[in-house]
Amino acid sequence: MPTGFIEKVKGFLFDPTKTLIAHKDESLGDALRYYIIFLAIYGVLTGLMLGLFMGMVGGIAGAQAGMGALGAGGLAALGIAGITIAAIIFIIIFGVIALFIGGALLHIFVYIAGGRKDVSTTIRAFIYALTPNMLFGWIPVVGFLAGFWTLALEILAIKELHEISTTRAFVAVFLPAIVLAVLFFFVLAAMVAATSANPYYY
């Protein structure tokens, strides 16, 4: 049975299998609402971090320009507010676009791996798997580690929602990376071969 936002976050983090089963039949619209709320929160946190940094830099510059403490403080506050608002708007717009592009590409590999549910199921799995990254991704270093958590949750989400084996889900998630690595290898090999075939003559 679908639960509230906080309960879903806690469930996907600490009891993902049970939570995924409970939300197996959730609509894409409900999953998108969950995702957009997270995007807004992520935008606020990211914007505040950037805004504080830029605001401090602007405040120092204002103080050095003779604006005084009040003027420098106002400049800093303006910087924080402006960057926070811009970050929220940008992250929501870019996040939704990236979700559908990434979800569609992932679905191709899920289908290759044996998943036969529709693309909306893959997009929902993608959304649920992003929970650790959306919660901790804005924190330096911790955000990098959260990426591995997200990958593990993505495998589990694909497995549960598409009802395929863990091995097939693993292949679906990592096959794109393998394909890109192989393509990169062949492109690099072709560039090396082209360079060797056309040496410089002096």
| pLDDT tens-digit readout, 46-73 | 777 776 666 555 544 444 444 444 444 4
CB atoms within 10 A of CB 26: 19
Q: Are 121 and 93 in contact (CB under 8 A)?
A: no
User: What pLDDT was estimated at residue 121?
Assistant: 97
pLDDT band at 75 (very low <50, low <70, confident <90, very high): very low
| Average per-residue pLDDT for the chain | 82
Does 31 have pLDDT greater than 90?
yes
Q: Which residue has the higher pLDDT, 189 or 94?
A: 94
Does 10 have pLDDT greater than 90?
yes
CA atoms of 115 and 161, how far apart (whole Å): 9
pLDDT band at 1 (very low <50, low <70, confident <90, very high): very low
Q: Which two tokens stand for residue 88?
A: 């929220």
Q: Write the pLDDT tens digit of every residue in 132-168.
A: 999 998 887 888 899 899 999 999 999 999 999 999 9
Q: Which two tokens stand for residue 147?
A: 């990426």
User: What pLDDT was estimated at residue 140?
Assistant: 78
User: What pLDDT was estimated at residue 62?
Assistant: 45
Q: Which residue has the higher pLDDT, 67 or 99?
A: 99
Tell me the one-letter amino acid at 168. R
If you average pLDDT over residues 80-102, what whole number do you get?
84
Does 15 have pLDDT greater than 60?
yes
pTM over 0.85: no
**CA distance readout (Å), 81 to 64, 94, 135:** 22, 20, 21
If you average pLDDT over residues 1-26, what whole number do you get?
89
pLDDT band at 45 (very low <50, low <70, confident <90, very high): confident
Q: Which residue has the higher pLDDT, 97 or 181?
A: 97
CA atoms of 61 and 102, how far apart (whole Å): 41
Q: Which residues contact 176 (CB under 8 A, 6 or more apart)?
A: 105, 106, 109
| Low-confidence winner among 7-11, 96-100, 120-124, 140-144 (lowest mean pLDDT) | 140-144
